[in-house]
Amino acid sequence: MNPTWLSSLLAGTFLFASMATLAAPDYSQLPERKQTTLGLYMSAAEAYEKLKAAPDKLTLIDVRTPEEYAFVGHPEMAWNIPFAFVTYQRKDGKTEYGPKMNANFVKEVKAFVEPTDTVLLICRSGDRSAKAVDLLAAAGFENVYTVIDGFEGDKVKDPDSVFDGKRMRNGWKNSAPWVYDIDPEKLILEEYASKETQ
Backbone CA torsion sign across 98, 29, 141, 151: positive
Report the C-alpha gap between 10 and 14 in whole angstroms: 6
Strands 94-101 and 84-91: antiparallel
Of residues 6 and 152, more confidently modeled: 152
Q: Per the residue annotation, which of 123, 133, 135, 147 is the catalytic one?
A: 123
For range 61-90, the mean pLDDT: 94
Domain ranges of the chain: 42-196
pTM: 0.80
Is 123 annotated as catalytic? yes
pLDDT at 190 over 70: no
8 A C-beta contact, residue 77 and residue 60: yes
Of residues 95 and 19, more confidently modeled: 95
Domain 42-196 has CATH 3.40.250.10: yes
